[in-house]
Structure 1
């Protein structure tokens, strides 16, 4: 009998078109979070960093982008970095939001205990033809691997007592059950990682854009005046513009690091899911010929 080992990656691609309506609703909620973070970023920039008390010469007119002058400390200088700063603050808040959300989701999906040890315990119980004990191990694992294994074990147990199918058909039924369970688990693991990968690339560019805009403003001020005052204003403008670069690079670094951490954890879970399917089909084919 030719045996095939289903891969979780292949299953995810094959089932990516299912459950369209729930995905649309979920995506709408996911896109709302960055918008809220950008609004929060503007509020922090305008009313906290740009508070009148932080400047020696606040703009009496107020408005959307007050022309505050004379920052009293290092943080208020960030306000003078320009309108790109609140966008970068929003990007940083977005990264932190999805990092927390992914950490909680992936931690729950990982379950309890070591995945390799869990699979070995299931293999031991199956070798002794104790399917109920194997299902009990899945209840203890409480993760994505346990969920997929449990779904497969239920079908495994059902196939033991089924008499109208041959061994190959029973193995295919178990394999199909594992694939369906995998299709339910994998999308939740990779959800929202696209925001981290996108911000990792875009945040640095946004920071450089803010710096370029700040440099243009500084050199424009230099051209309008001369002498030592102009040089002082130029150096101050460059310093303020570089806040954009620092904020953009910092945000990008956090996004890249956390994206790599999460993808590594997901790869481990995916491998465990693949091992689960292979364990069930191999065990049934060898014990119930």
Structure 2
């Protein structure tokens, strides 16, 4: 029994180690986000000819007055959003990268072939007490659902030949085996989902910070100049505020939509596991 528990713990650790490691990936994505801000959005080609004379903007902008920059493209406009923009770009890239990761992980977890057909086939076979044929279906299906069902069916066969336990004890053991198999699979399905959930909220807050900074600059320009507002500085402050707001809301919306999408997929897989688990228990109660 102790050996069994130890093996289960090792399998849980192995499951949790799967997928992308946020501690490694997120710093890399931040560097990519800063590079995009400096060398793509800050490229001289995105600004008016007068600003290009200062050299490559992505390197020399720090020495330029913001009023000397006149964006000629949408990327140049985004660049004018200020220092919060690379953070929001990092958030957007992070959402995209981990969404692709979750998509492929959940696709693999669904296994090969049609999952609904697999559930129907296994249930039909269990109704006829054809456990070996159901195990063959699991081998063909693979994936998280197939793994859980296979573990349940393997325990089913072992308990069917066990004469040391009564029927009630066998049902408890079977239910426990299915629950443990499900527990082993769930960490891999839910890993990194918290990142999407967090960015759905944090993106808006960081964008709000950029908005506040931009409005502070705008009001400062409005109050300076000896009674005559600096129109250029005022417009730059307002545009910075709106750019950050737009980027933050866009990132947050995408993160929330994808989080809910993947959550529904995980719930669907869990429901199918529970559906087959119930069929396994009913079959065992009927035939044994």
TM-score when normalising by structure 1: 0.84
Tell me, in whole angstroms, the C-alpha distance in 1 between the residues paired with 2:28 and 2:237. 30
SS for the counterpart of 1:178 is helix
Change (3 A) 1:213 1:252: same
Q: How far apart in 1 are the matches of 2:229 and 2:20? A: 51
Quote how far apart the aligned CAs of 1:209 are.
1.1
Using a 3 Å threshold, how does the CA distance of structure 1 residues 23 and 128 change in structure 2: closer, same or farther? Answer: closer
Give the structure 2 partner of residue 105 of structure 1: 105
In the alignment, structure 1 residue 45 sits paired with structure 2 residue 37: yes
Q: How does 1:57-136 map to 2 (within 5 A)?
A: 57=51, 62=59, 65=62, 67=64, 69-136=69-136
Cα deviation code 1:40-88 (max 9, x no counterpart): 1111001111123433325569369454622232211211211000000
Task: Tell me the alpha carbon deviations over residues 240-261 of structure 1, each in whole angstroms, 9 at most, x when there is no partner.
Answer: 3311111000000000000000
In structure 1, C-alpha distance between the alignment counterparts of 2:15 and 2:60, rounded to whole Å: 40
Q: What does residue 259 of structure 2 align with?
A: 259
After TM superposition, give the deviation of residue 141 of structure 1 in Å: 2.3
- Structure 2 distance, partners of 1:74, 1:125, is 60
Q: What is the CA distance between 1:173 and its match in structure 2?
A: 2.4
2:20 pairs with 1:31: no
How much has 1:23 moved relative to structure 2?
A: 7.7
| 1:73-130 per-position Cα deviation (integer Å, ceiling 9, x unaligned) | 2211211211000000000000000100001111111224554442332222123222
Structure 1 180/65 Cα, relative in aligned 2: closer, same or farther at 3 Å? farther
Work out whether residues 171 and 281 of structure 1, in 8 Å CA contact, stay in contact via their aligned partners in 2: yes
8 Å Cα contact 2:15-2:184 kept in structure 1: no
CA distance in 2, matches of 1:64, 1:180: 58
CA contact (8 A) 2:217 2:234 kept: no
CA contact (8 A) 2:80 2:240 kept: yes
* Cα distance in 1 between the residues matched to 2:13 and 2:149: 27
Distance verdict in 2 for CA 1:18–1:176, change over 3 Å: same
CA contact (8 A) 2:216 2:237 kept: no
1:233-252 correspondence runs (5 A): 233-252=233-252
2: CA distance between counterparts of 1:193 and 1:35? 18
Contact 2:110 2:143 in 1 (8 A): yes
| Structure number with higher relative contact order (C-alpha < 8 Å, ≥ 6 residues apart) | 1
Q: Is the 8 A contact 1:106 1:189 kept in 2?
A: yes
RMSD of aligned residue pairs (Cα, Å): 2.7
Match of 1:166 in 2: 166
TM-score between both structures, scaled by the size of structure 2: 0.84
Go from structure 1 to structure 2 and tell me whether the alpha carbon gap of 1:257 and 1:42 turns closer, same or farther (over 3 Å shift).
Answer: same
**Deviating more after overlay: 185-194 vs 28-37:** 28-37
Compared with structure 1, are the counterparts of its residues 28 and 133 closer, same or farther at alpha carbon in structure 2 (3 Å cutoff)? closer
Q: Does the 8 Å CA contact 1:81/1:240 hold for their aligned counterparts? A: yes
